[in-house]
Structure 1
Amino acid sequence: MKQPSRPTKSKSTERRKTRAELNLEGRERKRKSKLKGNVAGNRSHPKVTQQQGNAGPKKSDPRLGSKTPVPLVAEGKVAVAPVAANAHAEPEKMTRQQELRMLENDPRLDQLLDRLEAGDTLSGEDQTWLEARLDRIEELMVLLGIDIDDDEKDDEAEEDMYRLLKGQ
């Protein structure tokens, strides 16, 4: 039998890899197979695909804000939008007599005075409100020249004041 002839050696002879080179290639293949899948923290930083037609560069991290400094103190004249104060006209000022009449006809004031006469105790908020209204009534009466004798403690004066407060 005739032996097959060996191919003639080409000019470039491939040299065999050493054991160290083979080990290095094996480690690289193993590392590449381990790196399959998503990187750690992938859920919190999803990849954003750039859409066509977007103008300007996208920020890599949406949590990062602008790096431009923001002035903390307003310098110079700042343009302020006009306040709608003109839209709300100031309420017409009442005369002292109108204010006194309004206070005397206040249903809450009447109710609290009735409760006081009945001997009930008022809450702190009601008590301060009542005192403020009575002080204002007294002040208006002095300004208008209406005189009620506070020095006399007779029943008629109290009834007169109560009648005045009730508007009867």
Structure 2
Amino acid sequence: MIKKKTKLSRAEINEQSRLLKRKKKHKGLPSGSRINQTNQSTTKTTQTVSDSRIGSKKPIPLIVTETTSSITKTHSNAKTIDVKKLSPEKELQELENNPYLEQLLDMVEDDLQLSIQQQQDLNTMLDRIDELMQQLGYVDDELIEETEMQEDIMSLLKRR
């Protein structure tokens, strides 16, 4: 009483494999399930459902202009020093530690072109530092006279 298995023909094997493949194919969720769920929930409703995959609508400038450069932003953020309230020592210290002045000096060292406003700012800050150093006695008068004498000698040599 042992039953013998009958051999299946090639056509029957192919039919069974097609059925198994069809069953396997229908497992899982249908494609596009995220999109279909959001569309079904918004049918005939005035509510707007925000899709997390959509980014900001803010326009992004493709060309860098003068107003968007970091140099002008730091200039607008640079704090002004009130001369009347600070002692010369503190004013000199704040001028030397000014980030805008450091940035301008770095640009000069890198041989970058400064705008007219930046050049004026640099000149006024450096002139004020020179005045404060002379007030505080940090600059030798002999050194100044020596440089003036060298300039006079250079101008005489150039005349020849």
Normalising by structure 1, report the TM-score.
0.34
Which of the two has higher C-alpha Rg?
Answer: 1
User: Which structure's residues are more often helix, by fraction?
Assistant: 2
- Where relative contact order (Cα < 8 A, 6+ residues apart) is larger, the structure is 1
| Normalised TM-score (structure 2) | 0.36
